[in-house]
Amino acid sequence: MSRLATADCRIIRVARSAQPPLDLPLGATVIDVTGAAGDRGVWDRIADADVIFHFAAQTSAATAADDSDRDFHANVTPMRQLLTMCRERGRRPIVLFAGTVTEAGIPSRLPVDEDAPDDPITIYDRHKLMAEQDLKAAAVNGDVRGATLRLANVYGPGARGQRVDRDVLNRMIKTAIDGGTLTVHGTGEYVRDYVFVEDVVDAFLMAAVQPDRVNGRHFVIGSGRGISIRDAFELIAARVELITGRRVPVTTTDPGTRLSAIEQRHFVADPSRFSAATGWRPSWSLTEGIDRTIEALRCA
């Protein structure tokens, strides 16, 4: 939001509940719409938007497994309501959808690009893929111009980390700042690709201004650099200690139950195809991103 706030544009901010006023120097006109993304009436209220950034989702694989119907309503229904609105009203906006790299399941090789076959192994990933396929079909039919950006592990200022299986890096940074111990469940050997939120924002904005170069496609978005979970936690501990002067212990514990297959995967993104299409490049190193997140959380 802050990246667009000074632009001469109209922003329609959609959320499930009323949002606090923006504490930003605004050049844009901001309109708030409150409601669930699965309700058709919400999409009717933003029907004249030229660009739609579709971030609404339920993001926990565990929650999806516990209630698949509810997850379908959270992750598939909103896309179908949006696309139905576009067809019925004759609108053709640019729709950019936040997907997930786990739609492809367990990688057979690294790094992972768009040629990896889709083989989702969780309910959450199957539903995200269904929404993505609906968007692709609508783009082929000319109902919208749209693309899906499949995101690797996003971190940085803004994410709250309210569930144990999401926003892990942010939660560990907050724990370290608060003087807690960082606990690695299992060996921590599994490799992840952590991509800073500002790089993700850049990716969506660059796709929005070049819709014909991304239309009807999906892209893998990550830093292109892998690091083990254990090493990422150690890096957080070192950066927090450098800034606060307080040692941050990192310990290992038995996870108690066997980690799921998706938790045991290794993943590194190859975002070169999106870079070729849009000119986007990830610009934040993991160290820089952790430092920026530490700064934001200490000032919160």
pLDDT of residue 272: 98
Longest dimension (CA), the chain: 60
Does 7 fall in a domain?
Answer: no
Does 28 fall in a domain?
Answer: no
CB neighbourhood size of 289 (10 A): 24
Q: Name residue, tokens 């650099």.
A: 225
Cα torsion at 94, 149, 277, 196 (round to 10°)? 120
Q: What is the 3 state secondary structure string of 172-188?
A: HHHHHHCCCCEEEECCC
Does 105 fall in a domain?
Answer: yes
Q: CB under 8 Å to 193, separation ≥6 — which residues? A: 101, 152, 153, 222, 223, 224, 225, 226, 267, 268, 269
DSSP strands (E only) in 42-174: 51-54, 94-100, 145-151, 153-155
The structure tokens listed for 181 are 């111990």
Pairing of strands 145-151, 94-100: parallel
Does 17 fall in a domain?
Answer: no
Helix, strand, coil proportions of the chain in percent (round to 5)?
40, 20, 40
Write the CATH number for 143. 3.40.50.720
Count of domains for the chain: 1
Please state, in angstroms and rounded to a whole number, the distance separating the CA atoms of residues 133 and 216: 9
Q: CB under 8 Å to 88, separation ≥6 — which residues? A: none
What is the DSSP secondary structure assignment for residue 212, as one 8-state letter? H
CB neighbourhood size of 170 (10 A): 23
Average pLDDT over residues 207-223: 98
Q: b/e per residue, 2-40, with b = 16+ CB within 10 A?
A: eebbeeeeebeebeeeeeeeeeeeeebebeeeeebbbeb
Does 19 fall in a domain?
Answer: no
pLDDT of residue 26: 74
pLDDT of residue 109: 96
Q: What are phi and psi of 27, to 5 degrees?
A: -105, -25
Question: Does residue 60 carry a pLDDT above 90?
Answer: no
Contact between 85 and 40 (Cβ < 8 Å): yes
Domain extent, residue 203, equals: 36-299
Could you report the per-residue pLDDT of 6-27, keeping only the tens digit for each? 788 899 999 988 888 777 677 8
Question: Does residue 273 carry a pLDDT above 80?
Answer: yes
Contact between 206 and 142 (Cβ < 8 Å): no
Could you report the per-residue pLDDT of 146-205, keeping only the tens digit for each? 999 999 999 999 866 555 567 899 999 999 999 999 999 889 999 999 999 999 999 999
pLDDT of residue 159: 64
Residue 227 or 15, more confident: 227
Does 12 fall in a domain?
Answer: no
Q: Of 142, 114, 284, which Cα lies nearest the Cα of 211?
A: 142
Does 76 fall in a domain?
Answer: yes
Contact between 32 and 18 (Cβ < 8 Å): yes
Could you report the per-residue pLDDT of 70-95, keeping only the tens digit for each? 999 999 999 999 999 999 999 999 99
pTM of the predicted model as reported, rounded to 2 decimal places: 0.94
Question: Directed axis angle between helix 229-244 and helix 168-177, to 10°?
Answer: 30
Does 198 fall in a domain?
Answer: yes
